[in-house]
Structure 1
Amino acid sequence: MTSLGVIGNISHDTAEHPDRRHHLLGGAALYISLAAARAGATAAPIAVIGDDLAYTLRTTQLAGLDHTGVAVVEQPSCRFHLRYDQHGTLIDVDATYGAAQRLTAHALQQSHRYDHVHVCCRRPLDPAPVLAALAERRQPFSVDFITTSATDMITAAAPYLPAAKFVFTDAREFTALTAAVPAEHLRTVTATDGPRPATLYRHGRPVTRTPIAQVDAVEVTGAGDTFTGTFLAAVLNGTPEAAALTEAAQAATARLATPGIALHPQPP
């Protein structure tokens, strides 16, 4: 079975909505790896956490993951405060990176161990040296972004994106992506757009779309990452991309209807 390493954050998240606030175990490396494992992949987050979150690696919710790519250091874990509007759109992120500031060096040491590497191009990671190493080794890789830092991260990653097997975006990120890299130079790109159909592009041409089912959202944090992890697991296990797109959309919708992995609030 193809092994998947996911470079990114594992964090203590505060998800603030107009009418509620949730404290969650989060981070893109966690959400993508969990979704991929549930979809049948051998998935390993590649992350650096503090000893304050070390106990979470032993929880039943994370039992299906390979934890060997997670480093635990004597430093506070990364913390994100995510603010959403009434439509569930992310409008602002405050971050205290803590242990995750060591992620770039850690990723460079670990990424060679996996058949496919997914790189979450989100701060504090410096994506350029990581992507350069993957491209130089001709190691299959994929990338994603987050809207609040997408323009800067796309600029940093742009020289290596034509080598990416998959690029995952939302509608705003897709616009920034294709402004930085000619769409025809990109092998496969997925673009989600809230409740509207998700689209898969190949060298700039739309080749398939899948509808998004509407549900009452309990928690939107991690839904896009669930899409990414599910799609990757499906295609790495041989599922055609059109079917993988549908599976990913269904998994993301199901994620919206669940509360996530709760943490007790802690002082910053």
Structure 2
Amino acid sequence: MTHIAVLGSTNMDLVAFVAKAPQRGETVTGREFRTIPGGKGANQAIAAARAGATVSMIGAVGNDSFGTRLRSTLEHSGVETDHLRTTEGPSGTAHIVVDDEGGNAIVVIPAANGTVDHLAPGDEGLIASADALLLQLEIPLDAVLAGAQAARAHGVRTVLTPAPAQPLPVELLNATDLLLPNEHEVAALTGRTDPRSAALALLEEVPEVVVTLGSAGSLYAARGTDPIVVPAPQVTAVDTTGAGDTFAGTLAVALAEGRPMPDALAWAAAAAALSVQRAGASESMPYRSEIDAQYTS
């Protein structure tokens, strides 16, 4: 079975559902509040596990009730947590407002995630045993770089979601096999608003780029080939939180299984389309049987 390692964040999502998100200085009344296990690392791990891979999580939770629930959720989803550290203090949280159009605004408090600034003993060996390593930017950059370089040293494919968007050191880009930004992140990285132009510019630093385009699908660019756009299923979104992580985790599984890139992107888009039709991040992620049914329908 395909083995995916994930180095990244675990957060408890504190989600307020409202008709319309408040503007600065404005107070609105929400209709529902939920606490949902999340974090970009944990989300991608759960997505990959539900898509059929053996998944191992590297990261940290606090020694609070959120940490206990986050670990339990990962384990219940089939994610191995032996390399998920428990630290003194609170777990990470993400404060999310979701409006009736499915859009969201998020504030992340790293807490325990901020302690993941290096690889702990055994982490490199775990990465070396994987078929792919999934990375994001909700933990300190030093750990992301260490993970990417460990993967490169052992011939393991690295998939980096550059979120939250920030300048990336050349050392990290040089250790990245596939860069996976959305439209906003690719613009922040390159200063170019056209996704195709931005993706082509990034090929100077990384060999492959996939830009997620929301309901329009995704754009794939690789050195020596013409960019392609792979469409996504057209659905009515309830909550887009976690859709990008669903896409990333599912895509990593598809590629590790040897699917051609266009097929892998379409399969990942089917998973993301299913996720946006449900509330929450980790709770919304589909299982392999659901993805296969959506992909073939």
TM-score, normalisation: structure 1: 0.82
Q: Deviation at 1:100? A: 1.4
SS of the equivalent of 2:259 reads coil
Q: Deviation at 1:12? A: 0.8
Structure 1 segment 1-268 matched on structure 2, within 5 A:
1-19=1-19, 20=31, 21-51=33-63, 52=65, 53-59=67-73, 62-84=76-98, 87-91=101-105, 93-106=106-119, 110-114=123-127, 115=130, 116-126=132-142, 127-136=144-153, 138-146=155-163, 149-150=164-165, 152=166, 155-179=167-191, 182-185=201-204, 186-203=206-223, 206-260=226-280
**What is the percent sequence identity of the aligned residues?**
27
Q: Give the aligned CA root-mean-square deviation in angstroms.
A: 2.8
Q: Deviation at 1:109? A: 5.3
Could you give the per-residue CA deviations for residues 143-196 of structure 1, whole angstroms, max 9, x where no partner exists?
A: 1022xx30x2xx234333143221111112122334599433321111112221
Q: Deviation at 1:224? A: 0.5
Structure 1 unmatched ranges of 5 or more: 263-268
Could you give the per-residue CA deviations for residues 70-121 of structure 1, whole angstroms, max 9, x where no partner exists?
A: 1123321101113456654444x33332221211224685143122221112
Is the CA contact (8 Å cut-off) linking 1:224 and 1:252 kept in structure 2?
Answer: yes
Q: Which residue of 2 aligns with 1:265?
A: none
Cα distance in 1 for residues equivalent to 2:230 and 2:256: 19
Question: 1 or 2, which has the higher strand percentage?
Answer: 1
Q: Could you say if the C-alpha distance between residues 194 and 17 of structure 1 is closer, same or farther in structure 2, counting changes exceeding 3 Å? A: farther
Q: Deviation at 1:214? A: 2.7
Cα distance in 2 for residues equivalent to 1:211 and 1:202: 18
Cα distance in 1 for residues equivalent to 2:160 and 2:169: 9
Structure 2 unmatched ranges of 5 or more: 20-30, 192-197, 284-297
Cα distance in 2 for residues equivalent to 1:223 and 1:101: 24
SS of the equivalent of 2:248 reads helix
Is the CA contact (8 Å cut-off) linking 1:119 and 1:143 kept in structure 2?
Answer: yes
Is the CA contact (8 Å cut-off) linking 1:101 and 1:125 kept in structure 2?
Answer: no
Q: Which residue of 2 aligns with 1:266?
A: none
Q: Deviation at 1:31? A: 1.2
Tell me how many residue pairs correspond in the alignment.
Answer: 256
Q: Deviation at 1:204? A: 8.1
Letter of the aligned partner of 2:76 in structure 1?
L
Q: Deviation at 1:125? A: 4.6
Q: Could you say if the C-alpha distance between residues 84 and 9 of structure 1 is closer, same or farther in structure 2, counting changes exceeding 3 Å? A: same
Letter of the aligned partner of 2:89 in structure 1?
Q
Cα distance in 1 for residues equivalent to 2:104 and 2:190: 21
